[in-house]
Structure 1
Amino acid sequence: MAVGAWTGREERWMDGHCWHAAQSRLRDEISPAAFENWLLPLQPVGPGIDPLVLAAPSEFHRQWVRSQYLGQILSSCSAADPSVRRVEIVVKEGGTAAPGEAPPSAAPSHVGSVLDPQRTFDSFVVGASNQVAYAAARRVAEGRTSGNRNLLFFSGGVGLGKTHLMHAIAWEIIGRGKRNVAYLSSEKFTSEFVAALRAKDTDAFKRRFRTVDVFMVDDVQFLASRVQTQEEFFHTFDALSNEGKQIVVSGDRAPVDMEDVDRRLRSRLGGGLLAELRSTTYELRLSILQRHRSRYDEVSVPDAALEFLATKITNDIRELTGALARVVAHAEYEKRPVTLDLVRDALPDLLRANQRRVTVEAIQKAVTEYYGLRRGDLVSARRERRIVGPRQVAMWLCKQLTPMSLPDIGGRFNRDHSTVVHSTRRVDERLADEPVLVEDVEKLKHWILD
C-alpha cells in the first residue's frame, strides 16, 4: 500500500497517537525501569497494522522484547485499536547488536540458569512471613546497597519463595540494563566447574563468574561435601566481595547452622544480611491463591474452595498453587463447577497426605527447641551425648510421622540409611526402659502434630 493510501487508523498509529495510548497502558503494567529501558525506545513503522510493526534499536533489544513483553504489547495495542491482531518486532534500519550483546537465553555468562518469567516482584505475594526478605531483595535489585551490605543471604525451607525472589532480582536487574548478573543453582555451579576441570580450562570459568556485577547462587547447602567446588566458590566469593560486587545466596538454613560447609565459607556467608523466609500464614496462603485464581478465567473458583485449600495445604507454596491448577483442570475435564466436593475428588492424595503432613524441618525445629540445641547440631558430625540422643529421637520421629524413606531421612541429617536404622532401633529400646523418654516423645509428638 502506498503511503498516500494509508487509512486514517494507520495514520493514527504512524503519528504516534495510538502507540502512545498503548504505551500508557504498558506503563501501568510493568516497572518504570523496564518500561524506560525496553518499551519506550520502540517506534511503529509502516505501513499497515496487520501486523503492527514496531522497531527496536538493536537485535538484542528486539529479542529481549519479544521474549519478555510481546504478549503485553499485543494486549495493550489491541485495547487501543481492536483491529490490531498481531505485533512484530524488527530491528530499526541501521540498528545492530552492540558488541557483546545477546539475549539472556543465549548469554550464560550473564545468566547461568534458566529464569522463570513468572517469578517477578509483581507476582510475589508479600506477607508477614516474607516481608523482610522481599524488602531486602528490592534493595539489591534497585542497587540500593552499600558498604558491607553487598551480601544478601535468603534462608528458609522448601517452597517458601527463596527461588522466586532470586529470579525476581535477576529479572529486575536485567530489565534495568545497567548491571550484568550471573544466576545459577549450586548444582549448575558444580557441574560447570567440573566441566571446566575436565576441559582443563578453569581460567575461562573464573573469568566468566568473577567479572559480573551481581553473582547469585541458589541452594548453597548442596555444596556440602564437595570440597573442590566449595574451594572454588570461596575464591569466587572473595574475588567479587573484594571488588564490592553484589552477592546473593540462598540456603535451607542460616550459614551458622551449615556445619557441613567449610568453616571459612560459612564465616563469609554469615557476614552479610540474613533474610529469613518463615512458614506461611493462612492469610498469605489465601492471598497467593487469590492471585493465582485470576489466571483461570475459564473456570470460576469460589472463595470457599480457596479457603479450604489454604487451610489444608500449609507447607509448600508450589504444592498449594499446583493443587489449585489440578482443581481447575478437574473441573474443566469433568465439566463440573468447583465445589468442596470437587476439590476433595481432585486432590485425594494431597489432602490425605496433608491430614498429617509433618516436615523434617518441623521435627528438627521442635526437637532442638525442646532440648535447647541448634538445628546445626542435629545435622553436624558432633558426637556429644547431649546431641546424639536428641538426633536419634528426631530421626525416630521422622520415621513415625513422615512418609519419607530411610535414605531420605538420613540425607536430611547428613547421614546414610544405616545410621537411621541404628538410631530408630536405639530409641525403640530406650522407650521400653525409660519412662522419661516416653514422656518426652509424647510431648514432642503432641507439639509437632498440633
Structure 2
Amino acid sequence: MLDDQEALDLAADWADISTGLRKDIGQQLFGQWIKPIQLGPFCKETGTLDLYLPTEFSANWVADRFADRLSLAWKIARPDVRHVRILVHPGRRAMPDLRLGEGRRAANDGAAPAQPGDALGMGAEFGAVGGAGIGGAVGLDPSLTFQTFISGTSNVLAANAAQRMAATETPQFAPLYLKGATGQGKTHLLHAIGHAYLSAHPRARIFYCSAERFMVEFVQALRQNQMMEFKGRLRGFDLLLVDDIQFIIGKASAQEELLYTIDALLAEGKRLVFAADRAPQALDGVEQRLLSRLSMGLVADITPADIDLRRSILESRLARFSPHHVPADVIEFLARTINRNVRELVGGLNKLIAYAQLTGQAVSLQLAEEQLTDILSANRRRITIDEIQRTVCQFYRVDRTEMSSKRRARAVVRPRQVAMYLAKVLTPRSYPEIGRKFGGRDHSTVIHAVRLIEDLRTRDSDMDGDVRSLLRQLES
C-alpha cells in the first residue's frame, strides 16, 4: 500500500504527464481516451504501476496505441517505474463478452456469479443478465438504479419514460430513444431500466452494451462464420439496451443487422431502448430505414441540469457516499460553477473529498478553488461586469447610467448593490476592479454591498428570489 505522500506524488506526476499528452495528441483524443485513466497501485519491488480504464474496450484501445508512450513518460517522470500495465478498473464491471461459446449458460439461467478473479464477469454468454439477484447482473452497474437517479425539470420526461419502459405493463411507445449530451444521465437510465425490469421479470433476458461493443462483436461473428448464432442470440432477448448509438454511424452491414433485430423484437412485443448524444435525424451516415425505426417511438430529451438539480445531485451524492463534512457554501459553489455535465460535477466533488481525506485538510471554498482548477476553468463561461450591469438594469427597470451615478435613492442603490454582489460572485475581478466599473467607487463600498446582499438573501425571500433569477439569466 502507498502512504498518503506517495499517492500525492504519483498524482502530481500523472498531472504533469497528462498535460504533456494533451499537448501532444490534442484535446479530442486526450479527452476521450487518456482523461478517463485512473491511477492504480504501484509495486515498489517490481516497479510496476497499474493504470485503470473503465471498460475492456478502452483499456485495449489505449494499450494498443499509447502503451509505449505512457511507459516512457512514466520512466522519465519516475525512474522507479519500470513497467506500466493498462487494465480494466477492478471496481467496474467490464462490458459483457458477447462471444458465443458452447456449453455455457446465460447468467439468468443460473450460472454462478463471477468471482473476483474471473476476468471481471466476462464469462457470461452474449451479455445476458439476470439470475439469482440484481446485484449479480453482468453488465449492469448495481449503483445505477432509479432510486439513485435524481429527477428535475431537465430530465423528467426521460426519467418517467424510462420507468414506464421498465414497468410490468406494456409501454405505449417503442422503442424509447434517450437523447442528451455527455454526462447528463443517459447511461444511468439505461442501467436503471435493466435493474427495474429484472426486478419485475426475474427470468428476463437482457442485453446491454454500447453500439461500439455491438460493432466489435458483429465483426468477430462475421469473421468466425457465426452470424446465425449471433442473430439468434441477439433476437432472443426480452429487453435490448444500446448505449451511444451514434458510434454505429457508417457501418452499413451492422446497421442492417440492427434494423432487422429491431423489427424482430418489436414484432414480438419486446422492449428496446437506445441512447445517443444527438437526435435520430442528426445521425449522419445512418440509412433512412434505421432512422425511421429509431424515431418511431418516443425521443426523450435530457437537457443540461439546471442549478437546482445540480444542488440536489450533490446533496444526494454526499448523503450516500461520504461521511466527510462539506460546507454548504462549497456545495453551492460547485453546483453553480460546474455546469457542463453531471459526471464532471460528481467527479469534482469526489476529487475534492479524496484530496481532503488524503491530506487531512478540511473541505473549504479555498481548497475547492485550488484543487479543481481544470474542471472549474473548463466550465466557467466568461461573464463580464458590463453584462451583469445590463441584466440587472433590465431586471429592475433602471437606466444603465445609474450603475455609475452618485444618486443615493433606494430604487437605484439596491440594484447597484445587487450588481456589485453578482460581479464578485460571477467574475474573478477584485473589489477595487469592481469599484472602478461602478463609477470609480472605493473597494470598501463594494465590500459593504456584497456583505449586505449576502445578509439580505438569508433574511428576505424576495431578495433571494431576485438574485436567483438573475443568476439563472446570467448563467444560461
TM-score (norm 2): 0.53
Please give the secondary structure, in 2, of the residue aligned with 1:250.
strand
Closer, same or farther: CA 291–254 of 1 in aligned 2, 3 Å: same
Is structure 2 residue 273 aligned with structure 1 residue 255?
A: no
Asked if 1 retains the 8 angstrom alpha-carbon contact of 2:128 and 2:138, the reply is no
Asked if 1 retains the 8 angstrom alpha-carbon contact of 2:334 and 2:345, the reply is yes
Is structure 2 residue 338 aligned with structure 1 residue 313?
A: yes
Asked if 1 retains the 8 angstrom alpha-carbon contact of 2:127 and 2:138, the reply is no
Asked if 2 retains the 8 angstrom alpha-carbon contact of 1:181 and 1:212, the reply is yes
Structure 2: gaps (5+ residues) = 1-90, 92-105, 114-120, 130-136, 384-472
> Which of 169, 173, 182 pairs up with 1:144?
169
> Which of 350, 354, 357 pairs up with 2:379?
354
Closer, same or farther: CA 162–225 of 1 in aligned 2, 3 Å: same
- 1 CA distance for matches of 2:373 and 2:197? 42
- 2 CA distance for matches of 1:214 and 1:345? 46
Please give the secondary structure, in 2, of the residue aligned with 1:108.
helix
Is structure 2 residue 125 aligned with structure 1 residue 100?
A: no
Is structure 2 residue 255 aligned with structure 1 residue 230?
A: yes
Please give the secondary structure, in 1, of the residue aligned with 2:250.
coil
Aligned-pair CA distance for 1:350 = 1.4
For residues 233-260 of structure 1, give each alpha carbon's deviation from its aligned partner in whole angstroms, at most 9, with x where no partner exists.
Answer: 1111111112121111111111122242
Asked if 2 retains the 8 angstrom alpha-carbon contact of 1:113 and 1:188, the reply is no
- 2 CA distance for matches of 1:98 and 1:252? 30
Closer, same or farther: CA 210–346 of 1 in aligned 2, 3 Å: same
Asked if 1 retains the 8 angstrom alpha-carbon contact of 2:163 and 2:193, the reply is yes
Aligned-pair CA distance for 1:178 = 4.2
**Which amino acid in the other structure matches residue 248 of structure 1?**
V
- 2 CA distance for matches of 1:231 and 1:280? 35
Please give the secondary structure, in 2, of the residue aligned with 1:247.
strand
For residues 246-285 of structure 1, give each alpha carbon's deviation from its aligned partner in whole angstroms, at most 9, with x where no partner exists.
Answer: 1111111111222421111001111001111111100000
- 2 CA distance for matches of 1:258 and 1:245? 24
1:65-76 equivalences under 5 Å are none
> Which of 163, 168, 180 pairs up with 2:205?
180
Alignment match, 1:164: 188
Alignment match, 2:4: none
Closer, same or farther: CA 103–151 of 1 in aligned 2, 3 Å: farther
- 2 CA distance for matches of 1:345 and 1:214? 46
Alignment match, 2:128: 110
Alignment match, 2:145: 120
1:303-342 equivalences under 5 Å are 303-342=328-367
Please give the secondary structure, in 2, of the residue aligned with 1:353.
helix
**Which amino acid in the other structure matches residue 190 of structure 2?**
M
Segment drifting more, 104-113 vs 194-203: 104-113
Query: How many residues were matched structurally?
Result: 266
Asked if 2 retains the 8 angstrom alpha-carbon contact of 1:113 and 1:183, the reply is no
TM-score (norm 1): 0.56
Aligned-pair CA distance for 1:297 = 3.9
Q: Could you say what the CA RMSD is over the residues aligned between the two structures, in angstroms?
A: 2.6
**Which amino acid in the other structure matches residue 224 of structure 2?**
A
Alignment match, 2:450: none
Alignment match, 1:82: none
Closer, same or farther: CA 312–195 of 1 in aligned 2, 3 Å: same
**Which amino acid in the other structure matches residue 161 of structure 2?**
A
Asked if 1 retains the 8 angstrom alpha-carbon contact of 2:348 and 2:372, the reply is yes
- 2 CA distance for matches of 1:162 and 1:246? 17
For residues 147-169 of structure 1, give each alpha carbon's deviation from its aligned partner in whole angstroms, at most 9, with x where no partner exists.
Answer: 6x231110111111000000001
Please give the secondary structure, in 2, of the residue aligned with 1:215.
strand
Alignment match, 2:291: 266
**Which amino acid in the other structure matches residue 310 of structure 1?**
A
Closer, same or farther: CA 309–137 of 1 in aligned 2, 3 Å: same
- 1 CA distance for matches of 2:169 and 2:216? 32
**Which amino acid in the other structure matches residue 111 of structure 2?**
A
Aligned-pair CA distance for 1:349 = 1.6
For residues 376-433 of structure 1, give each alpha carbon's deviation from its aligned partner in whole angstroms, at most 9, with x where no partner exists.
Answer: xxxxxxxxxxxxxxxxxxxxxxxxxxxxxxxxxxxxxxxxxxxxxxxxxxxxxxxxxx
> Which of 113, 116, 132 pairs up with 2:157?
132
Is structure 2 residue 294 aligned with structure 1 residue 294?
A: no
Aligned-pair CA distance for 1:295 = 3.5
Structure 1: gaps (5+ residues) = 1-66, 68-96, 359-446
Is structure 2 residue 242 aligned with structure 1 residue 217?
A: yes
Asked if 2 retains the 8 angstrom alpha-carbon contact of 1:173 and 1:180, the reply is no
Asked if 1 retains the 8 angstrom alpha-carbon contact of 2:205 and 2:239, the reply is yes
- 2 CA distance for matches of 1:350 and 1:314? 10
- 2 CA distance for matches of 1:213 and 1:100? 14
Asked if 1 retains the 8 angstrom alpha-carbon contact of 2:177 and 2:299, the reply is yes
